[in-house]
Structure formats: C-alpha cells, structure tokens
Amino acid sequence: MPPRPYQYFCVHSHFFQPPRGNPITGEIGIEPDADKYRNWNERITAESYRPNAEMGNFDRISFDVGEALMAWLRKRAPETHQRIVAADRLHQQRKRVGNAIANPFNDVLLPIRKRADKRTDLYWGKVAFQSHFGHDPQGVWLPEMAVDIETLQVVESLGYRFTILAQGQTRGPIEGAGPYWVDLQNGRKLAVFVRNDELSNDLAFNIHAVGGAGHWARNKLAGRRLSKGALILVATDGETFGHHHLGEERFLHWLIEHEAPAIGYTNVTLNEYLGMTPPRDFIEVKPFSSRNERHSIRQWVSGHDAWKSCLLRALDNLSNEINDIYREEAHAVGINPARLREEYIRVWLGMVEGKKLLAEFAQGLTTAQENRLLELLRAWVYLSKSYVSSTQFVDDPDLPKPRYAIGSAIHAAQIASAAVEADFNWSFRNDLYLVKSQTTGLNGWEIYDSVYTQFFAPPEEAAPVEAVVETKKAVEPKKQKA
C-alpha cells in the first residue's frame, strides 16, 4: 500500500554548550581532555557545528543555539556563525519565516527562578536572538524543557508563540506533535509542540546502531504514520549529529533530504508548520516537569544529592540580598527596577552605553547613583550565570561546572559589594558550608576558597586565543547505508 500523502516530519536540534572556564573573562582556555583541541568548544565545532553548517543541515531543520555558544561561535568560529545565520535567512526568504528559535539568555531551569528572573532571562534571550538573526523569534527552547505554568505565562507575555515539550510532560490524548494549546490559567493560552520521545531518544542514544538513515526511516519512521496532515517531531541535542556520534551529520542530511521524503513525508520546520496548522485541541502540562527525570527540577530542590539543594539555597540568599539593594537604589531615583534590568541587556551586548540607558529612565542622576545602578545590574548577569542548569548534571560540587557557578556568584558578590560598600561574599561563603564533596572531602568553605584562589588571584599573562581555523571546503555527504 503506498504511503499516505501530506504527512509532515520535522527534526528540531538544540545546540548548546554550557559556560565554562573563567567566570570573570568568559574565556574557556585550555581543557586538557579535549584531545588535540584547545577546549571542547573547538572540538565540537570541528565534529558537529561546522560540518552540519557546511553540509546545509541548518537550512533544512528547525533549530536553536544557546546564547553562550552562539556568542562564542561569533567570536571564535565566525564562518560557522555566519552559515547558521544565513540558514535562517534563507529559510525566511523561501518560507516567509525563519527556522531558528530562541533560548533564555542563560541556560537556567526556569521553574526554580522567581517570576521576575524568568522574565528577564527570557527577554534577554529574545534580544540576543534579534542581535544574531535580525528578527523576532517565534518560538523558544526552554532549558531541559523544564516548565511550570508560571514559566509558560511569562513565555506568552513576551510574545513568543510556542515552545517544545516531551511526551512524558503532557497528560491527555495526543496524536502527533500538534501543535496544541495549553491553558495558562490567566485567560491566555500558548501553543506547544510535543516531540515523539521514542524516536527522539532512538536517535540520541542509538543512532550508530540503527543501520543508516534509509533503514531507520523505513523501519521506524514509516510505522508512525498518523492522520492526513499530522506532524511527527524528533527533537534532540544537535551534538547528536557529529559529536556524540561521529560522522552522523550525514545521517541527518540523508534523512531530511532523501529518506523521509522517500516514504511519503514532507519535511517542515516548526515556524513553518505553525503558520500552516494552528492549534485546535488543548492538552495539560505536568507542572515542574522536564524532558529527563535524571536532570529534573527535583534534583535541584530536593534530590538525593543534598549538596545541590544546599548550593541552590546559598545562591538564592545571595540573589535576594543583591536584588533587594538594587530595587532600593532604583526606587530611590524613581526608576522601575524590573524594566531597567530588562533593558540592561542592550548595554551588555554593546548596543548602548550604560549612562545613555539610564538617561532613558531618569534625568539628573549623580555619577555615584549611575555607577551603583550599573554595577548592581552587572552583578545580576553573573548571578544568573551561577544558576546554569549544567551544574546539576554532575555528581559532585568540586567539579568544573559547579565551580564555575560558585565563581560566577563570587564575582557577582564582589561587584555588588564594591558598588554599595557592603560585604555579600561573607554570607555567601557561610551559606556554602553545608555543601560537601564526596570526592575530595572538601566542604563548601574550602571549595569557595579554592575557587577564589583559582579565578580571583592576580592573573598571569595569558596567551592570545586565536579564532578556530575553519576550512572553506564544503563537506560532501557520503551515502548512508540503505
């Protein structure tokens, strides 16, 4: 029997690298375990980002790129950055919509953050997306797909039209990826796409064993045909294609370009499909859920690794102290602290000078008032970086990712302390005491002192960091096994 017509297939790839290295300078530096490369960003660029871009895969899929990675690519691998931006521009020319979607500015589990902090990170992500791609995003990828209703309310309030969830995060009957409506319980609604968990995980973890794109399409994808017009969505980490599984950027190319169409599917992107097929049915979202229980919100808040909840408490206490002072400073000069903090992203990205931004909110500020506000805003950037979700993916606090988080918080405390002549570091260090490393035996005070010595001692002369050497020769896809 011939395949049914008008069935749709989409691959969404989430490309991301956690911020690492020096929390003050943002430089990753040398990571010895990255083999012949200076660091893992350079290695994964060579194995995944560059070959996928050269092969044209970004032209054919729906995708997002985390801001920390996108900024690094623009600086260190500019040709790859330009190819990714050009892919979205080409899709916009062909389909009237781009195929890239946004991220929060920092990769944080949004449900554990306060509403105002969620809004700032999501708003900053929107502005950062505009700075790369030159237009507003329609959708947003939420880190680890972690959601609660408040997070979705904030997403909708900022003008985003949709996000992506895993099947395990929803209740109620679904057929395909949707899109579906979610009732936001405030008289509003938001569209969500629901990925096929089985197919997504099959590629994420077993792509080397599935026998090539043609075999997978005929034996796995073909059997998932739904009703006319329905969409099947595979959504997984972009590093699946070429880094986690070397050479499998070719699998993605052949799947999208040849094998899915050969069994009767029309390839689309999420922005494109939403314009063709608006949501009709409602589904229910499981609150405080994420795509992977091992990396769940529960691990941060009350997981068996007690150090994670202790670290979270210390970060929250520091954040509350600094934000309280910031709000007092802003209110004292008649400025809305939330709006100013949101617009500070323009200063951080170099779009406007700090004092000119303040002049948009209030006139006649003294130099001292200007400096205090700008420094407290700068401190907030590092506070948000300290909540990076990759911290909770490791099993011990005395490892590079938690140490980066602690270092970011120390730097935020230093900036705020100097701005208002206070001492935020003492209370933060004190709160860390209950954090305990089972590997090195260090308690939180000792980890704090070690991080301080590593990052905040007088810097030594550093060698210049060169851009990644990028070949201009396009990668020719080799035919996959049928």
As a whole number of angstroms, the distance between CA 28 and CA 78 comes to 17
Which of 295, 317, 338 is the endpoint of a domain?
A: 295
Say if residue 307 is in the same domain as residue 281: no
| Whole-number Å distance between alpha carbons of 174 and 193 | 11
User: Does residue 475 lie in a domain region?
Assistant: no
The CATH number of residue 124's host domain is 3.20.110.20
Last residue of a domain, one of 295, 315, 334: 295
In terms of domains, do 202 and 333 share one? no
pLDDT at 292 over 80: no
Could you tell me if residue 481 is inside a domain?
Answer: no
What is the pLDDT, as a whole number, of residue 45?
A: 97
Q: Where are the alpha helices (DSSP H) in 137-269?
A: 149-157, 197-206, 213-216, 249-254, 260-262
Q: Does residue 24 fall inside a structural domain?
A: yes
pLDDT for residue 232: 95
Q: What is the mean pLDDT of residues 424-434?
A: 95
In a shared domain, residues 48 and 173: yes
In this structure, the answer to whether residues 93 and 184 fall within a common structural domain is yes
- Close Cβ partners of 170 (under 8 Å, ≥ 6 residues apart): 194, 283, 284, 285, 286
Starting at the earlier edge strand, list the strands of the sheet with 189-195: 162-166, 189-195, 180-183
Alpha helix (H) residue ranges in 349-399: 354-361, 367-385
- CA distance linking residue 434 with residue 12, whole number of Å: 40
- Is residue 477 in some structural domain? no
Domain co-membership, 264 together with 401:
no
Q: What is the pLDDT of residue 475?
A: 47
Q: Which residue has the higher pLDDT, 203 or 395?
A: 203
- The answer to which of 168-182, 241-255, 302-316, 352-366 has the lowest mean pLDDT is 302-316
The verdict on residue 162 lying in a domain is yes
161 and 179 inside one domain: yes
Confidence of residue 175 (pLDDT cuts 50, 70, 90): confident
Token digits for 459?
Answer: 């810097």
Residues 277 and 311 in one domain: no
* 16 and 149 assigned to the same domain: yes
> What total number of domains does the chain contain?
2
Cα distances (Å, whole numbers) of residue 168 to 13, 171, 233, 289, 301 = 19, 8, 14, 8, 20
Together in a domain, 446 and 399:
yes
Answer whether residue 40 is part of any domain: yes
The answer to whether 157 touches 126, Cβ cutoff 8 Å, is no
Average pLDDT over all residues of the chain: 91
Residue 211 has a CB neighbour count (10 Å cut-off) of 14
How many CB atoms neighbour CB 57 within 10 A? 27
Q: What average pLDDT score do residues 134-138 get?
A: 97
The span from the CA of 306 to the CA of 318, in Å, is: 19
- Cis before residue 104, ω within 30 degrees of 0? no
59 and 150 belong to one structural domain:
yes
339/357 Cα distance (integer angstroms): 11
255-256-259-261 Cα dihedral, nearest 10 degrees: 160
Could you list the residue range(s) of the whole structural domain that residue 354 is in?
303-456
Run of H or E residues at 272? helix 270-276
Q: Which of 295, 330, 345 is the last residue of a domain?
A: 295
**Mean pLDDT (whole number) for 371-395:** 93
Does 466 fall in a domain?
no
Residue 471 in domain: no
User: Given pLDDT bands bounded at 50, 70 and 90, which one contains residue 299?
Assistant: low
pTM above 0.85, yes or no: yes
Residue 172 has pLDDT above 60, yes or no: yes
Q: Does 2 score more than 70 pLDDT? A: no
∠129-133-138 over CA atoms, to 5°? 60
Residues near 268 by beta carbon (within 8 Å), at least 6 away in sequence: 8, 9, 10, 231, 276
Same domain, 258 and 317: no
Q: Supply the pLDDT for residue 319.
A: 97
Give CA–CA dist 342/324, Å, rounded.
16
Instruction: Flag the least confident range among 66-80, 87-101, 168-182, 224-238.
Output: 224-238
**Cβ–Cβ < 8 Å for 266, 10:** no
Looking at the structure, tell me whether residues 332 and 382 fall in a common domain. yes
pLDDT tier for residue 26 given thresholds of 50, 70 and 90? confident
